[in-house]
Structure formats: C-alpha cells, structure tokens
Amino acid sequence: MSLTHYLVLAAILFTIGAVGVLVRRNAIVVFMCVELMLNSVNLTLVTFARATGTIDGQIMAFFVMVVAAAEVVVGLAIIMSIYRTRRSASVDDANLLKY
Amino acid sequence: MDTVPADGLLSASWLLIALPLAGAAVLLLGGRRTDRWGHLLGTATVAAAFVVALACTLQLDERQVAVDLFTFIDSGSLDVRAGLLFDPLSAVFALLITGVGALIHVYSIGYMAHDPRRRRFFAYLNLFVAAMLLLVLGDNYVALYVGWEGVGLASYLLIAFWHERPAAATAAKKAFIMNRVGDVGLALAIFVMFAQLGTVTYEGVFGSVGLLAGGTVTAIGLLLLLGACGKSGQFPLQAWLPDAMEGPTPVSALIHAATMVTAGVYLIARSAPIYDLTETARTVVLCVGAVTLMIGAIAGCAYDDIKKVLAYSTVSQIGYMFLAVGLGPVGYAAAIAHLLTHGFFKAGLFLGAGSVMHAMDDQVDMRRFGGLAKKLPVTFVTFGLGYLALIGFPFLSGYWTKDAIIEAALDRGGVSGWVLGGVAVLGAGLTAFYMTRLMLMTFFGKARWAPSAPGRPTPHPHESPSVMTAPMVLLSIGSVAAGFLLVQAFPLVEWLAPVFGEPEEAEHVVAPALVGIAVTAVMALGVLAAWLFVGRREVPVVAPERVSVVTRAARKALYADAINESLFMRPGQWLTRALVWVDNRGVDGAVNGMAAALGGSSARLGRAQTGFVRTYALGMLGGAVLVAGALLAVTAG
Amino acid sequence: MNSFPFLLLMIVVPAVGAAVVAALPRGRDLLAKQISLGVSLVVLLLAVLATAAFDTDGDRFQLTSSVSWIEDFGVSFALGVDGIALVMLLLVGVLVPVVIGASWDDEPVGTRSMTVFFAWILLLEAMMVGVFAATDVFLFYVFFEAMLVPMYFLIGSFGGPRRQYAAVKFFLYSLVGGLIMLAAVIGLYVVSANQGEGSFAFEVLNAIDIDPDVQKLLFLGFFVAFAIKAPLVPLHTWLPDAGAEAPVGGAVLLVGVLDKVGTFGFLRYCLPLFPDASRDFAPYVLALAVAGVLYAALLAMGQSDMKRLVSYTSVAHFGFIALGIFAFTTEAGTGAVLYMVNHGIATGLLFLVVGMLIARGGSRRIADYGGVAAQAPVLAGVFLVAGLASLALPGTNSFVSEFLVLIGSYPTRPVFTILATVGIILAALYVLLMYQRTMHGPARGLMDGQGLAADAGEPAGPAGGTGATAATATATATATATATATATRTRRVPDLSRREIAVVAPLVALILVLGVYPQPLIDLIEPAVAATVGDVGGDPGGVVPDVDTSGAETEAGN
Amino acid sequence: MIEAPDLSLAALTPLISLFGAACIGVLIEAFAPRESRHPAQVAVALVGTVGGLVSTLVLAGTRDGNDVTAGGALAVDGAGLFLQATIAGLGALSILLFAERALDPARSSFVAAAAVPAGSPRDRELLTADRVQTEVYPLATFAIGGMMLFVAANDLLIMFVALEVLSLPLYLISGLARRRRLLSQEAAVKYFLLGAFASAFFLYGLALVYGATGSVRLSTIQESVATAGGDTLMVLGLALLIVGLMFKASVAPFHTWTPDVYQGAPTPVTAFMAACTKVAAFGAILRLLYVGFGTDEWTWRPLVYGIAIVSMVVGAVLGLTQTDLKRMLAYSSIAHAGFLLTGVLGFDAAGESPGLSATLFYLLVYGLTTLGAFAVLTMVRDGDGEATHLSQWAGLAQRSPVVAAVMTLFLLALAGIPLTSGFTGKFAVFRAAIDDGAWPLAVVALLASAVAAFFYLRVVVLMYFSEPVAGGPTVGVPGLPTTIVLAVTAAATLVLGVVPGSVLDLAGQAANLVG
C-alpha cells in the first residue's frame, strides 16, 4: 500500500464527514461528522509526515486532537443547552433566524 | 452715406426711449400712489418724446447719426453696443410712434376713465412706446431684437389687460407665442450674421454682406422674413392678430394697427441691403405679402365683429406693405409711405370703433349696431374719413399710397407683375367691400341695438367725451392729408433716399393715371357690391347659418386657427401628454424599475438564507468546490 | 489685500454660524433667524469684497491659499477662484440671505425646530462655497459629496408630503454619480502619479498629458456625476421630485446653486482636464443637452404641479448651459456661465414666488388657482417678471446669457443651436401657460373655496410652502365643511407682505439690472472661460467669422 | 539534537498580557465571591486588553526592523503590530460594552445562568434577578488573545490554533443573551457547527500544503512556491485555507452564518465579532496570501477579484430588504468585506503599492464605526430588550436627537460619505485597487456602495423624516462604559474623516509584512 492510498482514504473520510454534515439532522451526529473530517486530516498529516520523513506532521496531529477535544467541550455545551430548552437536538428545528 | 457720431440735440436722442420708459417705471413701481396722476404722466412722457423726436428730425441734416451709449454685451468677438442710429427711416418711425402714440394716450384718458387699473394701462402703453422706439432706433440687430421682444411683451400685457376674461388671456398668450415663433427666425438670422460676418451692427453687416455666398444671404433674408411675419401678422403667422382685439381698443389702435405690426415692414426695409442681394428671398416676401393681402381681405368680408374686421383689414394692408418691400428698391419708400398713412387712418378707425363700443356698452357685434351715424356724429365723420382713406377714395391718403404700391407691382412686368398687380387691385376691391359693409352695418340702416348681456339695459348711444374725439379728429385729418403730403408734397422717397438710395425712374408698364382709374373703378365696384348685399337688405341680428362654403371659410379666417390647432396644438398636446407618460413611466420608471428589480432580487436572494444550518453548510461546500475549481482552472490554464 | 483669506472665511463663517445656530436651545427661533441672516450677509459682504480684490487681468486663479491636508493622498486644502467660481460665489452670497428671508415665517412640519432648518442652510452655504472655491480635485469631491447631507436633511425634514422618497432619490442619484466620479478622481491621481509626483491640485493635473483612451474613461467618470447633478436628460428624474418636495428655500438653493455644480464641473474639470475626450464626446453631450431643452420644456407644459413645472424648466435651462459649454467657443462659454448665475436668480425668484402663492392657496396644483392677478397684483407682477426671466425675454438677465450661448454655439454647432432655439418658443409656452392658468381668468378653484372639497382627500398640511400662514389654516378648516357651504364665499388672496417684497426685490432688481448691463459680470467670467476654451483647443479670442471681412467692400465684387 | 527555539519575551508581551488576564479571569471565576466577580472581571479584562494595546504600541515604537520569534512561528512586523493594536483597542471597547449595567433593567445583556433552560420558571425568575454572568469576560479576553495571535501567526499551525482560540469562546458567548435566549442559542449552534465545518476545511488545506511543501511555515511555503510553482496539491490546499479564512471574515459565499449569528447573539457580542473578528480574519488573509503565497499572486488574484465582487454585491443587495437593524449591519459587514478585498488586491508583494496600508486603515475605521453603530443599537430598547426592528426606529430623532445624530454619523461613515472616516477608508482602498489597474473592480465597488447607501439612508430617513410611532422604543441613558465607547468611536469616525493624516501615516509606516 503506497502513501497515496492513505491520502485517498483520508480524502474519502473527509468527504464522508462533509456529506454527513449536510445530510444528518441530529446536531450531535453533525458534530461527529466534523470530528470525522478533523480525523481524516490527522490521517493526512501523519501520512505526509511519513512521506517527508519528518515528525512535524505527527506533532500537528496531536495539536489537532487537542483542539478537537476543546471543540467537543464547547460544542457539546452549546448543543446541550439548546437541547434542554427545545427537547430536540435536530439542527433543522433551529431556524428562527432566517432571511 | 456715412454715419456720423451724434452731436447737439441728437446726442440726446436716447431720451426718446428713456422718457416713456421712465414713465412706465414710475407708474409700475409707484403703485397706487400714482393712481391719480399716472395717466397724465404717461401721456406727458410720450408727448415729450414726440417733441424730442420732432426736434431731432429737424436737426437731422447729416441724415445718419449714431449715438453710442454703453457696452451691452462684449464677449469674445461678439461686441454688442447699446447704440442708436437716427436716420431718416428711424426718424419717420419715431415720429409715427410718438405722434400716434401721444394721441392714443390722450384718447385712452377718456376711454379708460372708469377702469380701476387705468394707471397700469398707461404704464404698459409707455413700456410699449419705449420698446417700439428701441426697435426702430437701435443701430444693430440685437438692439432691434430687444425692442422686438419688448413690444411683444407690452403687447402681451395690453391684450391681457382685462385678464379676468379668459378670451383675453388666451389671445395674449397666443400673440406672444406666435410672435416668438417669428422671433426665432430673427434670432437665427442674427446668429448666421455673427457666424458669417462676426458682427451684428447694421453698418458692419451691410458693409460686408456682399462677401457672402448667395445661399447664405437668402437664408438670412428668409429668416428675417420669418421674424417679420410673426410680428406683422403675415401668413402663416397671421392668426394671432385678430384675436389680439381682445385688448382695450386704444391698444388695438396703437399696437395692432399703427405701430407694432408694422415692425416687420421696418425690419425688411431696414435690411434692404440684404434683400437687394437676394432675389429669392424678395420673391418669398412678395408671395407672403400677396397671400396675406388676400387672406385678410377675404376674412374681413365675413366677420361681424367690428374690431376683427378692422384687424383683418390690418392684416391685409400690411400684406400690401410686404408686397411693396418685396418688390425691392422701388417698393421700399412706397411701403413706408403706406405704412404711415395706414398708421393714421387705421388708428383713427380703431379709435372710432372704440368710440362706438363706448357708446354701445362695449359690444362689438355689428349686427347689433346700425343707425349710429346720428347718435355719434363726430365719430361718424372721423370714422368715415378714415374709411374713405382706407378704401382708396381718390386723393385721400390711401389712394396715393396704395396706388403707388399697385403701380410698383405692375411695373415689375411679366406674368408676376400682372398677377401681383391683379391681386393688389382685387384686394382694393375687397377692401372697399368689407369696409363699406362695416360702415353700412354700423352707422346706417335701422338701429338693432340690444342689451350686451341678459339683465343689462339696452344701450343708449351717446357721443364720446372730447378727450376721445379730439385725437380722432386729428387722426382723421392725417388720414385725409398724409397721403398727399407724403407722396406729392414732400415725397417720402427723397427723404428716405439716404437709406434706400435715390429712386430710379421706373418704366411704367401701365400708365399711372390708368392705374388710378382702374383702382378707383374696382373700389367703386366693391362699394356697390357691399351696398347691394348689405345696404339694401335688412341685416339679420343673428348671422345666417346657411351660407356658402366661401363665406363659411371666410368666417373661420380660412381655417387658419383650425390648421394651427390640428398641425401644432393638438399634436403638441398629445406629444406633451405622451412625453409626460414616457418620463414618468419610461425614464423615471426605468430608474424606479431598477430599484424595484434590486429590491426584488434582494428578496429572492434573501430566500436562500433559509435558516437551516445544513443549507448553509451546503452553500459553503459549494463555495469551497468553486474556489478550488477556480484555482485549479487558473493553474491549469 | 490679496492675502486676506476671503475664501476660507466664506467657508468658516457660515460653518461656525451653523454650529452656533444648531446649538441654540429650542424656542430661540428668532435669534436663530437673526444670526443666520447676519452670517449670510457677512458672507455676501465677503463675496463682494473678494470680487473687488479680484483682478480680471490677473492670474487664472486668485485669492489662492493652500495647506497640506492629507499628505498620504497628496491632498491639499487648496482654495482659489477664477472668474467662473467667483460669480458663483456671488450668486451663493446673494441667494442665501434671500432664502433665509423667504423662510422667515415658515412653520416646520411636525414637531421639528426651525433653528435646525437655518443651521442646515448655513452649513449648506459653507459647502457650496467650498465646492466652488476648491482648486484641489479631492477637496472638490469632498465638498461635492458632503454638500448632499444638508440638502438631504432640508428636503427630508422640511419638505412636502413625499419628502422621504424625494430626499432618498436625490441623495442616491447624486451619490451614484459622485461615486463614479470618485473612481475617476482616483484614476486621475494615479495617472498623475505615473507621471511624477501624484497630486490632486488642479493646476498640476491640468498640465499633464493623459492617454486619449484613459481620458475617455476619466471624462465619463466625471461627466456622469456632473450630468446627474446638472441634470441632463435622461438623468434628470430626481430633480422634479426633489424640487417639488423640497421646502421653497431649499428648492431655491438646490436648483439655483447646488445643481450648478454640475455645469461648473463640466467647465472646470471635464474640459480642461480631458480636452481630447471632451472633443470626442461633445456631439453626444450636445445631443443630450438639446434633447433636454426640448424634452424638458414639453414635459414642463404637461405638469399639473407648479413646483414640478419649475423644476422641469430648470432641466431645459441646464440643457442650454450644457450646449454653451460644449460648443467650445468663448462666447458660448461665457454665456453658459452667465446663464448659471442668471438662472439661479431667475429660477430662484420663480420658486420663491410660486412658494408664496402656494403658501396662500395651500396647494401645489396649478388647477387649484386662477385669477390671482386681480387680487394680488404685486404677487402676479413678480411672478410675471420671474416667468419672463425664465423665458429669457430681452431686458431680463437670462436673455443675455441665452443669447450668448446660442450665438456662440451657432458658428461651431449650427444644427444643435437651431434645434435649441425651438426651446425658446417652448419656454414661452410653459411660462405663459402657467401664468395664464394661475393668474389670469376669473377667480376659481381654491381661490374661491370650491376646490377644497375635491382636495380634501389629500393631506391638507402645508405643502412645504413659504409660511404656511393663515391661508392654509383657513384652507384646512374649511376643507372639513361641505363644498356647497363654502362655494359662495370668495376668499381674497392677500398680496405680498412687506417682508416678502423685501425678499423678492433684490432678485427683481438683479434680473433687470443684469438684463441691461451685464458687462461687469462678463468681464469677470470671460478670461476664465477663454482659458478653458483654449485648453480644449478652441480659439480663446472668440469666434472667427466664416468670411474675412477685413477687406470690406472692395472685394465685394469677387 | 534539540535546540531551544529563540523566544523574544518582549515581542510576546501583548499576547502574554491578554492570555494572562484571561487566566486570571478564570481563577477569579473559580475563587472570587459572586458579588465581587463582576467588577474584578471587568477590571482584569480591561487591564489585559489595554495592557495589550499599550505593550503593542510600545513594541511598535521601540522595535528596530521586522522580526520573527518563537522559532519563527510568530511574526513581529508593522502590519502585525498595527492589527494587534487595533484588535486590542477594539477589544477593550467591546469589553466596555459587555460591562454596561445601566441600560438593561436586568443590569446586563448576558444571561444569569446559561445552563437554565430558556423559558423555564427559573429562567423567568432569573431574568429580573440582579445576578450577572461573568464568564464572558475571560472568554472574550481569550478570544481577543486568539485574534492577536491569529494576525501574528507566521505558521499555519499557529494560525489554526489561534483560529480555534478565537472561535471557541465566540461560539459560547454568542449563546449567552439574557433576552430572546432561543435566538441566541440558535445563533450559537449555527455558528459553532458551521465554524467547526470551516475549521475542518482550513485544517485540510493546512495538511495538503504541508504535504506539498513539507512545511507549514509561511516563509518556507513561499520559497517552495517560488521554486516549484503551484502543483495541484498546493493549489487545493490554498483553496481550502482561503475558504477557512473567508468564513471568518464573512466573505460571500461563506457568509451565510453572518446574518443569523449577528442577529441572534447578544448585541455587545455582535459588536465585538463584527469589529474584531473581521480585523483578525483579514490580518490572517493578508499574511497567508502575501507572505505565504505572495509569489503565486497570479493564481489567487482572479479568484479574490471574483470573490470581492460577489461579496460586495451580495452584501449590498441582500441588505436592501432587511428589516432588522442587526441583520442589516450583518449584510453591511459582508459588503464591507468585499470592499476590504479590493484593498487586499491593491497590494503587491514588492510593497510599492498602498494596498496594505489602505487595508489596515480601513480595518481600523470599519471596526470603530461598526462597533459604535452596534453600541447605539444597545441603547434603543423596548420591553423585550433591544428594539432592532427598523419600524421601531421611526421618528427616533425627535425623541432623542443626540442618539439619532450619532447613529447618523456612523451610518454616513459606513456609506462612505466624505468627512467621515468611512470615506477616507474607502478612498484609500479604492485608490490602491485603481493604482493596481483594478479599476473595474473599483467601479463595481463604488456602485455597490451606492446600493448599500440606500439601506443606511433608510435608517436615517426613518429616524429623521418619519413621525414617531406610539408606543415606540425608549432610548436608555447609558452608563459610563457605553458612553466612553460612543464618545471614542464617534470622535474617531469624525477625526479620521476630517484629519486622517497622522493615522494614515501610521498605517503607511506599519505597512510591511515579514516573510
């Protein structure tokens, strides 16, 4: 398996994540799709790190993980608060603001 | 003959204009304070101007005198000076204007005695006299133009003097507008002169007009003619003049008979050096004169309104003058002579008509007159003398001057000479017809007096006060004698020689005596016809409806108004309405439409902002794909 | 004397005056009016003194002063006047006191304070002086745009029933033009920067050579802005709305002075800076100008609203001015500048008189009036003088300018001139039609109380007129009564009051004096115009006649 | 062998000041008694931001030449310092808006307890309670710190981290409105989800660029671009990076979140976002495009050209039909993003062109003006918080002439009328664009500003030319903080319009980017 395969896999994962954001209604699932996108990037970074023979990419992957974790904290807090009010986590229900 | 700078009394000739102007200014600015003596001041200034004019004329031994006052407009190569030219031609006019003007002022004192706005009437009359004097005294075309439009304004103000009457207001507007059409011609002529010759002074233009191409000279001539037609009520701009009779009668006498309407003749005569160079333009002048002469005469036969008949008579008589100036050097002096005598007798006739109206509770319908000769003896006599002078009764004014014109027309020779001469003779016959008809209907026959309006008493005619009759008497004396004086005793031709050149001894096609006899015979025929048609019968108080096509056409003044209406007024109104629509819906609509389109697209695009996160994400993804695609395309390309 | 900062003072004095007036507490209206009048008279005095200090044979720009303003943009606060700007300043100086006098008894709409009105007027005066006195293109632009704000508030706060629409339309139209001009202003700077030091100074820009294609673009940028402001057909539709809805004082300044910035801009910027483009575009501009003369005149005839009618007449007059400017002769150019002044006076007077009439009748519709001349002869007389000046009757000031424009244009552009002369006839028509319908005839419509019933549906508030005085109050009161009850009673139209006479008298006097003796103004204007005509390749000395007349009659035979 | 990276503490002072203040704020939140928290938090946040501003200015005054520090991860250059100072200053003003307690009867714009479900009995109880939320201050301080880091990042990874540091607190405080909590929470969710989505794009772009060049250091990327030219990987990476940054800058077509979030978020937060986030995002865009891809201009130039037009048109046209003032200002911000891009385009890497200084200046004036406009919005209230519907503003000038006048000043500045700062800014960026030959873009921009002027004017028309409606909103008497904000922003708007020379000079001197 060449490095390209990993890259392609990462791209596919990224795409799946992006499409997931578009098609899923539950805010949690949408957010998980975003996480999937971030993780596909991690895969890409690690692959490139391997390709260039440096560890920069791997370090960056760690950075991304930390950031992703922080994002989860913030995101879940927000989603929770709105869920408690509305009793629904569907993103389609939140459309008071439009036009 | 060279023009010399003025000295002595002549250098004060600006007083001629300044005096009546000052009178007008005092009366207009003074307001009601001047009500009590305003009419006297107005009359005095014009009388004083007459004295100045007379003195200046007597002093005029150098024969052409220039008075330079101040710079009017000096820009680039255009240099218009406020300058006066006092020469025999302008002297004659100045005398006519101030002389007849002063008489009519006097008459107006009586005529307008009961009008609460008499002071303003005198102010306007003074304004008119000042403007008219500027017109004839200016030494360049721009000064002439200023006076030209100035008399237009005064005419407007005076026709609309009784502005509560819609007809008067409309007639005034019509007069002004039709004059403006002519004025455009005059203005364009000035533009052409400036563009071609770089000057607008008489001296400069006449000095170098010979350098111009023939076509250009013709163009200038025709444009000047357009201006002249407007002011003089000549075909095709004649329709305003009869309507102008809505003004007080002294106005009709002074402005629409004696002075302003003759300005066209003055313009063409003044521009003689130009017309001398262009046969074409002169021919057009001739045609205009001949056509107008006939239109006026025919229409004059059909109207029942005493002032309108006189107005059409004026149109017709000025047609004679145009015919004369169109003939070239032989005709100029004849035209001016006829102009002067016409000034006397037509002014007298109008004043007489005014006196009749005064007596008849301001009615003008001749069918309601009749038998006034006894009631208004002075009016009858003076009017009668004017009448005889007008129809060319032998040895009265009209006879001399009209004959001269007819002779000159015949002397032209060839077919055109015979045609023009024939028209002129025919016109003389028609003049005799309609004037006799007027006399018969007004002064003879049974009294057909009727109340001017329901509820008003039937008028009891009485002679006018002497302040009115005195000017009539003086004018009738002029009507009788002026022709002889100007043609035989002190030939105007010689007086005007410095302007038009020495008269050549014309070769007569028809012997003058023969012409005289023929014209007198035709005149007699006209009188006879009038007596046959009008004098012998009972005049119906209501004009008969079943009349011939010719009469009907004549009653409508040969459909001049109808033609104007259908050619200009209606399409104009239609165009205006259409353009208002275009401007509101089209031009402004485009702007508002653009705004609406922006607003609409804003609303439509705004729908894309659905409020759904997933739609937004899709938009972002699409944007990202586009961005990536664009960048890749740029890199690849 | 030349170092005295006339121009700066003429900007600063009214600006400070505006601030003072705006800061006055409510209820001090009289003091506000007195201060405003005083300040505007000081400006007039300064303008007159500046004229006295101006040497007609001297440099093109005089009374100059220049302070670096925004160095990064190469902008200076540079002031200076040529004859053209100077006469415009005189016009500003004359009209503002008149407008203040005319608005003296105005009642504001709603609960607004009239002190604000006078503050805006003074601020507008400062801006107008600035726009004419600026010799730096950037500075000019700043004043050009900033001028919109006071006018916008004048229309929007104190105007007629449709004032919001009119104010926004006015602002946006001008802004669009201004922004396009901004692009050209910047472009001009960039061009100058490419040829050395970047600058906005007029004299520097006048000296540089610009590539013809670039010139065309820049010319169009400036032209569109000025054509909107002036306004030329088909960019004119904002003016009738703005002119009709603005309070009379505002309308006078709008049409009398503000819009002149457009034609002033043609002359000051378009021609000298882009001579090649000006020559290339001249036929098109002339076509627009002449189209405007005829089109707007016809439209004026079709109006039923007096203020709209007067606005349309102005569009026609602007056509004449544009014709004079783009004929590229000294005579026509001088005439055009003189026209700018005269039009300000004549149309200003016309607006004022119409406003006084509206104040008496409470309606802007022509059909609501009739026979006023019989009851208010002085009003009718002034109306007539204004109308005659508007139709350029000889003896009034407008004649001189219109004549100069036409006679100067004819030698270079005969066809356009001939078409434009038709406008002379149309001018007589629309003026006299309005005059006849309102002043002549028997008293009718509102004037005898009959028109009120028909009119009651419309908002009966003061139509932005001068002094919504007792007449309007009566009108509103009687509007509620039935038509039959009021039909028999003829209400007299009061003639002009002493204040109103004092307001119109200076303008009437100027109309007559400048109609008879315009030469002093021409002497001021001509050198600047000649220089401009020289810039654009014309003969500054004036029209050269087609025929060489120096040889006189001796060659007549050839 | 590991070498310790060079680290200039002096250059880091501004960041330390902010992050330090934020950490102290967290500690205060944890340990200080509730009554004393608010003043303490405000004080700390203000000290932090003002300290950041002052230290940036001192740094700018004392530094000699441009520098990179922290192992080349941070750039200390003129543009960076200018932007940092701008962000710190605007941030301090925003903190003042947050701290306003006089306007809302409930003493704060922020919810008392975010965890309580909206609309519950407890929530209603708390609505009128005197309790205030103080977490917003450390959160905002973190965000400001993140922004200052963002504009100084010389490294894509740092840029990403800074992006998250500035974004995450913003997501949170968007949802903390005291009134209309549902809207506020919705705004937070939308902002968060879309923001995270955009971050993923940015991150993927980072990865691709890293793959193409082997580095995320901007200078290294530039060298690599100069030698290797743009291969597909790198171009894709650039595209994705641009997407991420344009999202933050709310440039169309990545603007869709802007109106919703601006409308829903508490008004002081909206003001903060509109002013500071825009500055930060454009700082990053400038750095990415010119430092990272400056030699590759021809690739992205047409793209930015097109995006600028789209953004101006979308912002101007969509703004026309808005009836909510906050939403309207959101579209205005989108249009202004387009105007700013014209300035970005008017800059060439050689540094001759005035584009950079123009953009810097524009960012400053736009930030001040928009902050002021939102500050005015906080003052006009009805029973249910701010009265942001247009119709409620009818006749405001007659109720409160001063407020109307100040608002008019801001609106005229946003519309770009001369003698206001907005005009100077517009002039500067358009001059840069035209100087660079992009005059068609400038013409489009000018027409768009004319369209945009319509909706600014509509507010003026309503305030001045309409009669007040019965039962309209009241204009609150602001406390000291809002008064200070209004005074500063209004004075700046006027001064930068009339005598902008010195600040333009400053921007001119600051106009350099270290590679």
- ipTM for the predicted complex comes to 0.89
With beta carbons less than 8 A apart as the criterion, state whether B230 and B181 touch.
yes
Work out whether strand B78-86 and strand D380-382 pair parallel, antiparallel, or are unpaired. Answer: unpaired
Quote the pLDDT of residue D353.
66
Is residue D157 classed exposed, middle or buried when 0-12, 13-18 and 19+ CB atoms within 10 A define those classes? buried
Contact partners, residue C519, CB within 8 Å, separation at least 6: B70, B71, B72, B73, B74
pLDDT surpasses 50 at C452: no
d(CA D367, CA D425): 11
| Structural domain includes residue D3 | no
CA closest to C152 among chain D residues: D461
With beta carbons less than 8 A apart as the criterion, state whether D405 and D446 touch.
no
Nearest to D189 among A48, A57, A94 (CB): A94
Cβ contact (<8 Å) for D423 and C111?
no
pLDDT surpasses 70 at B560: yes
With beta carbons less than 8 A apart as the criterion, state whether D254 and D194 touch.
no
Query: Which of B296-305, B500-509, D275-284 is predicted most confidently?
Result: D275-284
Report the gap between the CA of B597 and the closest CA in chain D (Å): 10
What number of other Cβ atoms are within 10 A of residue B517's Cβ?
Answer: 12
CA dihedral sign, ordered B146, B148, B149, B154: positive
In the chain, the amino acid numbered B39 is: H
CA dihedral sign, ordered B403, B405, B406, B412: positive
What is the DSSP code string of D487-512? HHHHHHHHHHHH--HHHHHHHHHH--
Backbone angles phi, psi at D386, to 5 degrees: -70, 140
Nearest to A95 among B612, B617, B621 (CB): B612
| Structural domain includes residue D6 | no
Nearest to B173 among C404, C436, C555 (CB): C436
Cβ contact (<8 Å) for D193 and A31?
yes
CA closest to B616 among chain D residues: D256
What number is the average pLDDT over the span C260-288?
Answer: 93
The SS3 assignment for D381 reads strand
Pick the range with the lowest mean pLDDT from A82-91, C154-163, C468-477.
C468-477
Cβ contact (<8 Å) for B602 and D318?
yes
pLDDT surpasses 80 at C109: no
Cβ contact (<8 Å) for B631 and D303?
yes
d(CA C523, CA B314): 46
Banded pLDDT at B506 (limits 50, 70, 90): low
| Structural domain includes residue D8 | no
With beta carbons less than 8 A apart as the criterion, state whether B296 and B316 touch.
yes
Is residue C423 classed exposed, middle or buried when 0-12, 13-18 and 19+ CB atoms within 10 A define those classes? buried
Report the gap between the CA of B613 and the closest CA in chain A (Å): 7
Pick the range with the lowest mean pLDDT from C398-407, D322-331, D466-475.
D466-475
Is residue B528 classed exposed, middle or buried when 0-12, 13-18 and 19+ CB atoms within 10 A define those classes? middle
Quote the pLDDT of residue A88.
85
Quote the pLDDT of residue C445.
57
What number is the average pLDDT over the span C306-335?
Answer: 93
Q: Which of B592, B594, B598, B602 should one mutate to test binding to chain D, selecting the residue with the greatest count of D CBs within 10 A? A: B602
pLDDT surpasses 50 at C477: no
Quote the pLDDT of residue C476.
42
Cβ contact (<8 Å) for D299 and B606?
no
* CB-based contact, B617 to chain A, within 8 Å: yes
Nearest to C519 among B31, B71, B120 (CB): B71
Domain that holds residue D407: 13-510
Cβ contact (<8 Å) for B598 and D320?
yes
With beta carbons less than 8 A apart as the criterion, state whether B246 and B162 touch.
yes
**Chains A, C in contact: 3+ Cβ pairs under 8 A?**
no
Report the gap between the CA of B73 and the closest CA in chain D (Å): 41
Banded pLDDT at C454 (limits 50, 70, 90): very low
pLDDT surpasses 90 at B490: no
Quote the pLDDT of residue C478.
42
Which letter, b or e, does each residue of D190-221 get, where b requires 16 or more Cβ atoms within 10 Å of its Cβ? bbbbbbbbbbbbbbbbbbbbbbbbbbbbbbbb
Banded pLDDT at C370 (limits 50, 70, 90): confident
Quote the pLDDT of residue D198.
95
CA closest to C187 among chain D residues: D434
Quote the pLDDT of residue C488.
41
CA closest to A27 among chain B residues: B613
d(CA C401, CA C343): 9
pLDDT in tens, D209-256: 999 888 889 988 888 888 876 688 888 999 999 999 999 999 988 999
A contact chains, 3+ CB pairs < 8 A: B, D
- The single-letter DSSP state of residue D321 is T
Cβ contact (<8 Å) for D194 and B617?
yes
In the chain, the amino acid numbered C471 is: A
Quote the pLDDT of residue D386.
85
* CB-based contact, A1 to chain B, within 8 Å: no
User: Is the backbone peptide bond immediately before D478 cis, with ω within 30 degrees of 0?
Assistant: no
Rg of chain B in Å (alpha carbons): 30
With beta carbons less than 8 A apart as the criterion, state whether C309 and C366 touch.
yes
Q: Specify the pTM.
A: 0.90
A2 alpha-carbon distance from chain centroid = 25
With beta carbons less than 8 A apart as the criterion, state whether A98 and B611 touch.
yes
Chain B hits for C394, Cβ within 8 Å: 145-150
pLDDT in tens, B44-93: 999 999 999 999 888 887 678 888 889 999 988 889 999 998 888 899 89
Cβ contact (<8 Å) for D168 and A40?
no
Chain C hits for D450, Cβ within 8 Å: 172, 175-176, 179
Cβ contact (<8 Å) for B613 and D254?
no
The SS3 assignment for C41 reads helix
- Percentage of chain D beyond pLDDT 70 is 97
Chain D hits for B603, Cβ within 8 Å: 321
pLDDT in tens, D45-70: 999 999 999 999 998 888 766 788 87
pLDDT surpasses 60 at B543: yes
For residue B82, list its beta bridge partners.
Answer: B70
* CB-based contact, B604 to chain A, within 8 Å: no
pLDDT surpasses 70 at C2: no
d(CA B398, CA B414): 26
SS3 per-residue string spanning B510-553? CCHHHHHHHHHHHHHHHHHHHHHHHHCCCCCCCCCCCCCHHHHH
pLDDT surpasses 50 at C472: no
d(CA D18, CA D7): 18
* CB-based contact, D299 to chain B, within 8 Å: yes
pLDDT surpasses 50 at C556: no
CA closest to D307 among chain B residues: B627
CA closest to A94 among chain D residues: D186
With an 8 Å Cβ cutoff, the interface of chain C facing chain D consists of: 69-73, 110-112, 141-146, 148-149, 152-153, 156-157, 163-164, 167-168, 171-172, 175-176, 179-180, 182-183, 186-187, 189-190, 193, 217
CA dihedral (B332, B333, B337, B342) in degrees, to 10, reads 0
Nearest to B614 by CA among D256, D384, C500, C130: D256
The whole-chain average pLDDT of chain A stands at: 90
Quote the pLDDT of residue C491.
62
d(CA C19, CA C429): 45
Higher-confidence residue of B200 and C486: namely B200
pLDDT surpasses 90 at D437: no
C93 alpha-carbon distance from chain centroid = 13
For chain D, report the end-to-end CA distance as a whole number of angstroms: 26
Query: Which of B107-121, C52-66, C108-122, D35-49 is predicted most confidently?
Result: D35-49
What number is the average pLDDT over the span B477-506?
Answer: 81
* CB-based contact, C73 to chain B, within 8 Å: no
CA closest to A24 among chain B residues: B614
| Structural domain includes residue D177 | yes
Banded pLDDT at D352 (limits 50, 70, 90): low
For residue B201, list its beta bridge partners.
Answer: B140
With beta carbons less than 8 A apart as the criterion, state whether C155 and D464 touch.
no
Cβ contact (<8 Å) for D450 and C172?
yes
Q: Which of D156, D203, D261 should one mutate to test binding to chain A, selecting the residue with the greatest count of A CBs within 10 A? A: D203
d(CA D401, CA D407): 10
Name the token pair of C235. Answer: 């960019």
pLDDT in tens, B154-206: 999 999 998 888 889 999 999 999 999 999 999 999 999 999 988 899 988 98
| Phi-psi category of residue B414: left, alpha or beta, with phi > 0 → left and psi -120 to 50 → alpha | left
Name the token pair of C134. Answer: 């600026």
What number is the average pLDDT over the span B197-226?
Answer: 90
d(CA B22, CA B12): 15
pLDDT surpasses 90 at B554: no
Q: Which of A12, A36, A67 should one mutate to test binding to chain D, selecting the residue with the greatest count of D CBs within 10 A? A: A67
Report the gap between the CA of D16 and the closest CA in chain B (Å): 35
In the chain, the amino acid numbered D451 is: V
Quote the pLDDT of residue C484.
38
Interface of C with B in 451-490 (CB under 8 A): none
Quote the pLDDT of residue B461.
84
Q: Which of B21, B35, B75, B163 should one mutate to test binding to chain C, selecting the residue with the greatest count of C CBs within 10 A? A: B75
| Structural domain includes residue D298 | yes
Length of chain B, in residues: 637
CA closest to A44 among chain D residues: D207
Banded pLDDT at D2 (limits 50, 70, 90): low
Backbone angles phi, psi at D153, to 5 degrees: -65, 125
Report the gap between the CA of A88 and the closest CA in chain B (Å): 15
The SS3 assignment for C70 reads strand
pLDDT in tens, B31-42: 888 888 889 999
Domain count, chain D: 1
Nearest to C187 by CA among C200, C172, C202, C206: C200
Quote the pLDDT of residue C332.
93
pLDDT in tens, C16-42: 999 999 888 877 888 999 999 999 999
The whole-chain average pLDDT of chain B stands at: 87
Pick the range with the lowest mean pLDDT from A49-63, B428-442, B540-554, C457-471.
C457-471
* CB-based contact, C331 to chain B, within 8 Å: yes
Cβ contact (<8 Å) for B607 and A99?
yes
Cβ contact (<8 Å) for C217 and D447?
no
B contact chains, 3+ CB pairs < 8 A: A, C, D
CA closest to C394 among chain B residues: B146
Nearest to B70 among C298, C407, C517 (CB): C517
Chain A hits for B618, Cβ within 8 Å: 22
Quote the pLDDT of residue C457.
37
